[in-house]
Amino acid sequence: MSSKSYPYTPATALAQALGKIDQESQGVVLPIHVATTYIRGKDNSYPTGNIYSRADNPTYKPVEELLCQLEQGHQALLFGSGMAAATAVFQGLRPGDHVLAPKVMYWALRNWLLNFATDWGLVIEFIDMTQLSEVSKALQPGKTKLVWLETPGNPMWTISDIAEISALAKGAGAFVAVDSTCATPLLTQPLTIGADIVMHSATKYLNGHSDVIAGALITKHDNDYWQRIRAVRAQGGAVPSPHDAAQLLRGMRTMHLRVRESCANAMFLAQQLEQHPQIIEVLYPGLPSFSGHDVATKQMHGGFGGMFSIRVQGGEQAAVHLAANTKLWKRATSLGGVESLIEHRASVEGAGTPCPPDLLRLSAGIEDKDELLADILQALPK
Ligand SMILES: *Cc1c(COP(=O)(O)O)cnc(C)c1O
């Protein structure tokens, strides 16, 4: 499946979806395969490799090849959601395996790790992934099987150093998997700097239109661990519908334009809001004042992402007031769509959140930047 030989840039790869056409109709858009089951040959084999759609579907192939190309991977797998993709990586481990995960990470996955993975015998240790000394201290050679990273990490946008952590993990015999949802395959390619597996919530920037739930994993190597992860998808049926896979590919064809605009809008808004007396702090990897800025500059190329958070003067009440009074910014969870979203995270995440109560998470869409700024300013408490 690896398509490393495709000779064009990511922009061309995306716009043309690797240039594939439908051989049968000569259509410039590929068909959706709705069949759940496939005919066996007379010799009892499956000549096309297609068997049954709980395990795999030909509609996924062009999306998986495109992701492989963008991430420079060996093989990609689509999943029915980002969570289905992420949890497959943990389900591929065995009881007693030790895992390092970041203290700041996507909340629903942290909850799943605490509520399910630990009950099934995984030993999960949450550490500060921004400190390399903490990573080396926590790694247990022979026992640590996986280091899970998320960078930039929801919702404080903490940056972990993929290259340095991968080198440490390799020394201890552990795999490194990166939730790269917010970096997108355009800004960071974790597999090229040492990571073994990349995960994306395709619901976010890949699709970009808030109308598909899907996820993806891309691996650098084929090995026993990857085969177990494949089996988790195939045997459990953690797959998207073929219609969603086709809609995802349509969304991906404009990803480079959307991500560019979202990054530019986020940078503009972060810079402007940092100057405002009613904003205590702006958390954005693109700001020189941000603690992870240097590492972000090293491993992110072409932008620092479309996500940032702000802390509002006046505490939780002021933050909730701001979110309640925006007109353009939609009050909703999720991120990475063409429309800008705003959310008070502490009330979503509940007890144990690393989020201060005065924090709002913002997903910059692709609207006019001055209108987005003016909308936030008019919503600040008077
Ligand atoms: C949304 C998200 C997920 C989960 O993806 P779903 O498609 O909603 O299941 C995981 N990680 C990050 C960083 C996300 O933003």
Which atom of ligand 1 approaches the CA of 154 most closely?
Answer: 13
Which of 220, 252, 284 marks a domain boundary?
252
Are residues 143 and 268 part of one domain? no
Tokens of 360: 């709002």
d(CA 49, CA 234): 14
Which of 252, 284, 314 marks a domain boundary?
252
Are residues 301 and 170 part of one domain? no
d(CA 284, CA 290): 6
Which of 217, 252, 287 marks a domain boundary?
252
Q: Domain with 311 in it: what CATH number? A: 3.90.1150.10
| Nearest Cα residue to atom 5 of ligand 1 | 82
Query: Is residue 105 domain-resident?
Result: yes
Which pLDDT tens digit goes with each residue over 232-258? 999 999 999 999 999 999 999 999 999
Taking phi over 0 as left and psi of -120 to 50 as alpha, with beta for the rest, 208 belongs to left
Of 301, 272, 276, 299, nearest to 287 (Cα)?
272
Q: Which domain holds residue 299?
A: 255-379
Tokens of 310: 């702000």
Which pLDDT tens digit goes with each residue over 42-89? 999 999 999 999 999 999 999 999 999 999 999 999 999 999 999 999
Are residues 290 and 149 part of one domain? no
Which pLDDT tens digit goes with each residue over 283-319? 999 999 999 999 999 999 999 999 999 999 999 999 9
If you measure from the C-alpha of residue 44 to the centroid of ligand 1, how many angstroms do you get, rounded to a whole number? 40
If you measure from the C-alpha of residue 330 to the centroid of ligand 1, how many angstroms do you get, rounded to a whole number? 18
213 lines ligand 1 (CB under 6 A): yes
pTM for the predicted model, two decimal places: 0.97
Pocket test for ligand 1, best of 90, 148, 198, 203 (most atoms within 8 A of CB): 203
81 lines ligand 1 (CB under 6 A): yes
Are residues 273 and 185 part of one domain? no
Residues that are catalytic: 54, 106, 179, 204
179 lines ligand 1 (CB under 6 A): yes
For position 288, what pLDDT does the model report?
A: 98
| Nearest Cα residue to atom 6 of ligand 1 | 82
% of the chain exceeding 70 in pLDDT? 99
If you measure from the C-alpha of residue 116 to the centroid of ligand 1, how many angstroms do you get, rounded to a whole number? 17
Query: Is residue 3 domain-resident?
Result: no
Are residues 287 and 227 part of one domain? no
For position 2, what pLDDT does the model report?
A: 45
d(CA 216, CA 109): 15
Which atom of ligand 1 approaches the CA of 203 most closely?
Answer: 7
Query: Is residue 5 domain-resident?
Result: no
Tokens of 371: 């209108």
Please count the structural domains in the chain.
2
